[in-house]
Structure 1
Amino acid sequence: MKPYPLQCKPEFKERVWGGRALAQFGLELPEGHIGEGWMIGDHPNGTTSVVNGELAGMGLDQIREQYGEAFFGSKGFSKKNGRFPLLIKLLDCQDDLSVQVHPTDDYDRLPAGELGKTEMWYILDAKPGAKIIYGLKDGVTRERLAQAIEENRIMDALNEVTVEAGDSFYIPAGTVHALGAGVLVAEIQQNSDSTYRLYDYGRLGLDGKPRELHVEDSLNVIAYEGAGATYMKTDLNASGEWLTLARSPFFVTEKGRVSGEWKLQTTTDSFVIHIICDGEGTIRWADGELRVKPGECYLLPANLGDYSLDGSMTVLRSYLP
């Protein structure tokens, strides 16, 4: 089996805050308010299947079982549950997300086999004035936050940041956060579906009932002194160079601009994931080539070796540290 870049059929998730903007990438959306496209995933709540090449029709879990370390690399498995360690999403936020926080891997109330959730966001597009919630204000303790929640003034305890396309946010587990209305986001995260909601604006869910809050779990897992969250503008000085957006124990994500041919390679330690942010081009490797366009996500096997990106485009690259 010769390795090649894998493209998957997304698993779409309807969310009360979602919309139809992911269709701009040529994706065929089901009906409803589609908030999430799980582009590359191997989770009980959504496992993507390959749509191209010899492995078309196989789920990422089947590829993991059949080709294992050769494709995913010596680091390419979660130490906790053996699954593919990352989950790659595109998010369409037509309304504000709930104010939320994610646990670390060692939180004792996680379901069996579930991971914590450290993640990062790259803003693909943002309406003028769009904002996100990113962390607590200085001096907010568990006691002060609990009181603010009890008195229905939680927003007084939270930081808001105005965002624009190209902004990048690193969100370690324990960081309070929420995407705001009007943003389109690429998300790289641990392979987890663990979210604790602190506040949801009194909103009803898709079933017409109030959405569940998880205040006690949230208060337990928040890193009140900060978890190391950082954000940055990501203007690139030149083509053919990587700018590091996030470096965590779970993934490294970088941004680069392709202008002409850029020769790269995978290593036996880790797969590489490329998200095409804008522009168009080609991925070439020893046995073939693929035309690529915005919104597409590709999993390059660890044993692919030499490959190149060619064209005029902006890409994200993620791999295991």
Structure 2
Amino acid sequence: MVKDQIVQHVNKPIRVRPWVEPGPWGGQWLKSVCTNLSQSPKNYAWSFEMITPENGIILSDVNHHLLEFSWDIFYGSQARKILGNDEHYKLFGDSNDFPIRFDFLDTIDGGNLSIQCHPNLQYMRTNFGEKITQDETYYILETKQHWNKECIDDKNSSSHVYLGFQDNIDLEEFHQALLLSRKEKQELNVSKYIQCIPSNIHDFFLIPNETIHASGHNQVVLEISATPYIYTFKLYDWLRLGLDNRLRPLNIEHGMKNLKFDRRGEQLRCQPRVIHSESNQYEEQHLPTHDLHFYDVHRLIIQSNESIEIIRSTDNRFHLCMLVEGDAIEIEYEFIDNNQEKQRYNYIETFLIPASISQYRLRPIIKDNNKKPQQFVLLIAFLKTNCEKLLE
């Protein structure tokens, strides 16, 4: 019975149950927008999705009996149908190897993330035995000034990312400043060393490994990332205490071995390119990722009209999707015995179109015509066709 449901489930869009977690820098947006979450934590910092050891899948029968099992069990048994492409299956076919994750970083009415970096591929393999490293991107999903119109002229409510070094930074001076800050518990002059880049809703920043970075406060970031699990080297954490009332551990020595001092913030701001448009219907954009990223991202900007239908092909690879503006999106696809089925996903719900679905239709859903969205924006992440070469 369960096995049959698993086999059937891989032929339809998939949504895993998110894992949410409070943190020392966490914000209030997730609590406000996701009203089904417990309101007892003082904040929510993260919501992780598509991480095989962390997330679960819930199945139900005709009597609405529920069964949840871990995403790695499902993925491990169905990886070939999810991934499609033979080269992708060779790279990511093990049960814990689903390669892309989506997660939220909520800092609205919270704090800055730690100043951090991630290891290069060889360092990751040599020191931690992982096959891939943690190349990231930041998609700015929301900002405090956009979300709360009363804050639009309040400079203290502006948003930014810390990304890349200032010009002519001395490596050893920076190293010693980090050590002194930790030892003497004194603030680091972050802006002396690291660029602070203004951010706005729908901006997209590229964070390949060895890039110094952090999300600033007053925004919600959708982090689209490779998923080796958790390998973040924290260099500076604003001298704040963790939820256990202790200073959080830093990884200064690891981090100093994994920094590119010639990377600059604005160089890592993605420049979208229009690749297709249909008048009065939609525009498709390519959001080019860095040469080190093994995944890519497209963005559909859809007019607010329920009569619009967009046909998409998966080209024998999965599509990992999220509606980042608008009410909901409907997916129509061919199920078993050529039956057409439909599935609806709401704003900020992650969903996976497996490679087993060769073609699907998208349609925007307007929930309230009196509060009609200006537009719908859908993100689609997928593996590059040459990603095996990037991981050699």
* TM-score relative to the length of structure 1: 0.89
Rounded to whole Å, the distance in 1 between the matches of 2:44 and 2:178 is 29
Alignment of 1:305 with 2:358, yes or no, is yes
Moved more, 157-166 or 110-119: 110-119
Where do residues 130-149 of structure 1 align in structure 2 (5 Å cutoff)? 130-149=159-178
Which of structure 1's runs of 4+ aligned residues deviate more than 4 A? 52-56, 75-78, 233-239
- Matched residue SS, 1:42: coil
Which consecutive residues of structure 2, in runs of 5 or more, have no partner in the other structure?
A: 1-6, 146-157, 182-187, 335-339, 365-374, 385-392
Amino acid aligned to 1:274: C
Aligned with 2:283 (options 241, 257, 260): 241
Q: Conserved in 2, the CA contact under 8 Å of 1:13 and 1:37? A: yes
Q: Conserved in 2, the CA contact under 8 Å of 1:131 and 1:161? A: yes
Q: Deviations over 1:187-225 (max 9, x none)?
A: 110113110111011111110000111111110011223
Q: Deviations over 1:167-195 (max 9, x none)?
A: 11010011000101111111110113110
The structural deviation recorded for 1:81 is 8.7
Aligned with 2:259 (options 213, 217, 222): 222
Q: Conserved in 1, the CA contact under 8 Å of 2:323 and 2:329? A: no
Bigger helix fraction: 2
Where do residues 1-321 of structure 1 align in structure 2 (5 Å cutoff)? 1-2=7-8, 3-23=11-31, 24-29=33-38, 31-32=40-41, 33-43=43-53, 46=54, 48-51=55-58, 57-74=68-85, 75-76=87-88, 79=91, 82=94, 83-93=97-107, 94-107=110-123, 110-113=127-130, 115-128=132-145, 129-150=158-179, 152=181, 153-155=188-190, 156-191=192-227, 192-226=229-263, 230-232=268-270, 239-248=281-290, 249-259=293-303, 260-268=308-316, 270-279=317-326, 280-286=328-334, 287-311=340-364, 313-321=376-384
Rounded to whole Å, the distance in 1 between the matches of 2:168 and 2:89 is 38
**Residues 147, 201 of structure 1: CA spacing in aligned structure 2 closer, same or farther, 3 A cutoff?**
same
**Residues 146, 176 of structure 1: CA spacing in aligned structure 2 closer, same or farther, 3 A cutoff?**
same
- Matched residue SS, 2:122: coil
**Residues 151, 159 of structure 1: CA spacing in aligned structure 2 closer, same or farther, 3 A cutoff?**
same
- Matched residue SS, 2:262: coil
**Residues 225, 80 of structure 1: CA spacing in aligned structure 2 closer, same or farther, 3 A cutoff?**
farther
Rounded to whole Å, the distance in 1 between the matches of 2:241 and 2:254 is 21
The structural deviation recorded for 1:52 is 5.8
Q: Conserved in 2, the CA contact under 8 Å of 1:170 and 1:245? A: no
Q: Conserved in 2, the CA contact under 8 Å of 1:70 and 1:301? A: yes
Which consecutive residues of structure 1, in runs of 5 or more, have no partner in the other structure?
A: none
Rounded to whole Å, the distance in 1 between the matches of 2:352 and 2:101 is 11
Rounded to whole Å, the distance in 1 between the matches of 2:67 and 2:314 is 22
**Residues 227, 96 of structure 1: CA spacing in aligned structure 2 closer, same or farther, 3 A cutoff?**
closer
Equivalent residue for 2:155?
none
Amino acid aligned to 1:98: S
- Matched residue SS, 1:70: helix
Bigger strand fraction: 1
**Residues 195, 67 of structure 1: CA spacing in aligned structure 2 closer, same or farther, 3 A cutoff?**
same
Rounded to whole Å, the distance in 2 between the matches of 1:169 and 1:181 is 16
